[in-house]
Structure 1
Amino acid sequence: MQRRSFLQSSTSMAALALPAIGFASSSVAQSALSPAVSISVLCSDENGCFGPGTGIAEARGPVNIRVAQIDAQPEASVRFRLWFAGDEGQNAFELASSSPRGGRSSSLRLNAEAERLLAIDAEVSATGDTASAGSAQCLLSQGGFGRLKPGSHLIVLHNQGNTVMNESDPAIIAAIRLDIQAA
C-alpha cells in the first residue's frame, strides 16, 4: 500500500515537473538532467539533406507522425520518448530504442493532436569508452522549440557543447527520423 502511494506521488511529481523545465537556446535544448548530452532538431530541405533550419513552427490540429529509423553509436543504449498531454495528465510514449546487444526498435506510426505534443526526451547509457551517458529533453510547446511543422526532422542526441550541422556530424550519439504530415 505504501509502495503504491509512493509510486503514484512520484509519477505525479515527475509529470508536474516536466513543463517547468526551461532551456537557454531555441536551436539546441540544453540538457536538464545531465551536462553530457543535448538534443537538437535538424530539418530536411527541398533536396532531402538535413541541417539546422526553419522546421520549427506552430502547427495546429491532427498530425500523422512516422518514426522512420533510429541510428545510434554501437556501444550506446538509447531510448527516445515523446511526452504528450492526455485526458488524465501527461504521458510518455516510447518512440524508439537501441541496444548494443542488437536490439533496435522498428518504425512506427501514430496520430496525435499537435497541441498535445509536449516534449521529446532521450536517455543514453554507454557500455564502451567512446559514448557519453546522460539524458536530455526538448520542449515542443510554448517556451521551447514550438511545434514541429510538417516535413522530415532528425531528433539528434549529441555531446553537450557541440553544434550539430548535419546528419553525419561525429558528435551525434543517436538520432531518430520523424516524418510529420498534417492529417
Structure 2
Amino acid sequence: MIQFKDDIRIRQRHRQTRVHWAHVWFVVIGILIVLAAFILGYFYISLAPMRQAENRVQKLVRDKTSIATVTQVSVDYRKTTTYAVLGQTASGTEKVAIVRHNKVKTYNRSEGMSDSQLKKIITKKYKPKKLYSANISEYQGVLVWEISYKGADSKLNYLTLDFKTGKAYRAISGM
C-alpha cells in the first residue's frame, strides 16, 4: 500500500511541472490585445488636434461659402498652414475653398484639370511607379496641384503643377 501512495505522489509532482500551452497562448494574446489598445489609444489622442482643426475648417467653409457638402480636406504646411477643402454646393456645383489664416477663397473645380486629365499628364510625362497623393493647394497666389510619387528610380518626387494647365511650377526629384 505504501508503494502505491509513493507512485501517486510522483505522478502528481510530474503533472505540476507540465506547461499548458493553451494558458501560455491565452496570456500572450491577452498582452498583445492590451498593447494594441494602448497603441491605438495613443494615436487617437495624438491625432485629436488635427481632427479638431479639420472640423473647424469645415465649419468655417460651410459658414463663409456656398459649399454645403465637404468631400475632402487636405493641408499644406509650406510657409503657413493652408487648407484646401473640396466640396459641393446645394445645387451640385463642385467648388474648392482655400483657407489660410481664417480667410477663405473659393474657386470652381470645373476651371481646373479633372483627376483623369491630371493622371494622364503625370503618367505620360513623369512615368511614376506609384502615385502617392495629388492635392489642390495654393502656391505663389495661384491654385496648383501638389503631387508626390515614386519615380522610376524608386525615389520620392514632388511636383507642383498649375491647376488649369498642368504646367510645372517646381519639381523636386530623388529624395
Question: Under a length normalisation based on structure 2, what TM-score does the superposition of the two structures give?
Answer: 0.28
Higher relative contact order by CA 8 Å / sep ≥ 6: 1 or 2?
1
Greater C-alpha radius of gyration: 2
Larger strand share, 1 or 2: 1
